Chain A
Amino acid sequence: MHQEYTVIEGDFVNAGKASSSVKKTLKQLNVSPQIVKRVVVALYEAEVNAIAHAYGGTVSVDIEADKITMVVADKGPGIPDIALAMQEGYSTARPEVRDMGFGAGMGLPNMQKNVDKLNVTSEVGVGTTVEMEVNFA
């Protein structure tokens, strides 16, 4: 099953729409609540990152019998040092984004903790792609 969502720059009001929709689908498919929780945390963080840091992007979700694959690809400034960005507490979020309670440097670590496979690729000035997989069993 394939689903696609569009993410718009700065559109915080709709942050979580893709995660919410994927959550409903997984529940309908009787995926275990523990797995659904992990998928939701990881996908929400990726959505928020694309909204907060990039100039828009897409969320592609593929659900198979044994796993879910989520790819969040944005057009954006890119990440010059991915290892640094992965560190808990490191953030480049703007002050107004931090005031909302985002930008604590917990997004990528939250993704890492909740998925079975995480692959971040980025080109400065072009964009970032976050690929995540969660196994159902």
Chain B
Amino acid sequence: MKVKELVEKLNLKVLSGESGLDREIEGCYVSDLLSDVMGNAEMGNVWVTLQTHKNVMAIASLKELACVILVKNQQAAEDTLEQSNEEGIPFLSTTMQTFETAGKIYELLK
């Protein structure tokens, strides 16, 4: 599944990184602990989190994640969005909380 299909199916808001909407999704990782994501997420994963600062983008880039979904309508910091645009890794937001978001993604990807 591509990021843009996930955006449509879950009605996500695209905050930045539009050029990466064709990135291919391979699985999902849910965590707010950065070292947990660094150590355990896989390339192509969707990352669901409530963290919004720039280090989220640094990790998404280093791990080559497909996209980041911020839950509960969180807004990412401005420098996070800038880097997301530069690197083409989309930052998406949803009004749902983590449990619902992860459950819906699980249904789509299982």
Contact = CB atoms under 8 A, between A and B. Distances in A.
A100 B51 contact: yes
A128 interface: no
Interface string B30-51: 0011111011000100000101
A136 B95 CA distance: 44
Contacts of B35: 45, 48, 102, 104, 106-107, 110
A13 B79 contact: yes
A41 interface: yes
Contacts of A109: 39
Q: Which 4 A-B pairs have the closest CB atoms?
A: A16-B58, A106-B35, A101-B34, A110-B39
Given A20-B62, A40-B62, A102 B34 contact: yes
B36 A20 contact: no
B61 interface: yes
B55 interface: yes
A19 interface: yes
B39 A101 contact: no
B39 A113 contact: yes
B91 to A, nearest CB: 16
Q: Which secondary structure dominates where chain A touches chain B? A: helix
Contacts, number: 59
A98 B51 CA distance: 11
Given A16-B59, A20-B58, A44-B62, A106 B51 contact: no
A13 B55 CA distance: 7
B33 A101 contact: yes
B55 A15 contact: yes
Contact of A15 (B33, B36, B58): B58
B5 to A, nearest CB: 25
Interface string A109-120: 110011000000
A19 B49 CA distance: 22
Contacts of A40: 62-63
Contacts of B13: none
Interface in A5-52: 12-13, 15-16, 19-20, 23, 37, 40-41, 44-45, 48
Contacts of B36: 104, 106
B53 interface: yes
A25 to B, nearest CB: 14
